Structure 1
């Protein structure tokens, strides 16, 4: 379970870094653009991807993911800043319902009443987690329709998860090789956009954004590395890894958000955290029954 704990910590560190970005005047897009360079390097060092096998992979999936990943990363950063770590982590974790629904609709997977119960609880958890009050996570006035960020994070993470599952179906290419290719494309696309924005003087390039992006990339890669290792170490209990990871992120994220960053949550929001944990437990149970 040590790998699960390390994966949880890395995932929450990403949210904390995005929260701190505003405090230290870090441009989120620049940091995210550079995050993919270190993710590529670490994937190369740890997994030695077989680039020759990429000829068998449909590049359109890589391209779509390479665009969606940095775009959603920026939205997650804005969501963390506006709605807080707690709500954003819940939206990310509950996005697992989308691939579950896709498995039922697209891949003819058996849909049980237990799974339906988990989905229903998750829907209520999302509703309860939305900041209906007129304050943001820091206690100040919330921007109009701030809940939209949570909905986009929820939908975006779900779609990306479905696409990654599609990538994993192509057994002719190792999954880590696909990750390397996707990171590479995301880095190239991000750099093209970054160069354009610097050339048109919409943003100002500074070295500190590179270093912040590298720290972000290390945490982002660590999340994936330890998650995969957890599944390898507990190959007979994938539902244990699944539930422990998601519950751990929600719980640790909530503790840090409430204690360290003093995020403001209503009683309804706190109830939403409990419902989110219950929903994940129910869905994890449904995977083995």
Structure 2
């Protein structure tokens, strides 16, 4: 068990991107960290720091609940408790809804949604027994607004993350557990690189707009994202310590802009049809 008085974190998808930077900052600040990846050796090399007393690299198949359960058990055995869970693992999928096969779609849901649910199901009994814990579920601004051509399935997975986080927060509040859904905008990580985003195996020529979106993300946006991921993970660490963390956390000026546009559009639709849409109850005698 760690002798550090600081909290123990459990972070998925930790071999690159936001997850990797988060683990590195946590270790530098003396936290105990259990981190997951599909390959533990790759994770050790990527992190490049930490001791057995503070760092537990775990090879986990998030789509396999038994594998996730073993990781949670190993974390508790090593550090005695889990204070903060960060469901960061996930990957992008660019393709129109017509193009993407059932297998491609389900694979995206398996990692982005069901893998996250596996972690929640396995970690919550520990958090509940402690009567304390923080959970950060990483969605995307594409989980708040789906107005992104070619990202329909990916957005659907991230909308699911947002919805289940809100319900989870309501379910576990009485146990002292606080949950936050995080909506990042564009941050300069490997998210748009070949290993982190998939495209249709059977593209359809008619969807030129989707191909243009794909090319723009791969050739123009990748490596030029405005967000500094180091600042994003520093904010997560800061928020983990506050008494009442936000249920919804938008990260980046671009995320705020998109969210504001979505909120305004919803309000406009509501007002436009308010009279008719609120006249749908049974008539009172």
Please classify the TM superposition score into its range, dividing by the shorter chain length. under 0.3
Say which structure, 1 or 2, has more relative contact order (CA 8 Å, 6+ apart). Answer: 1
Q: Name the one with the larger helix percent.
A: 1
Q: Name the one with the larger strand percent.
A: 2
Tell me the TM-score normalised to structure 1 length: 0.27
Tell me the TM-score normalised to structure 2 length: 0.28
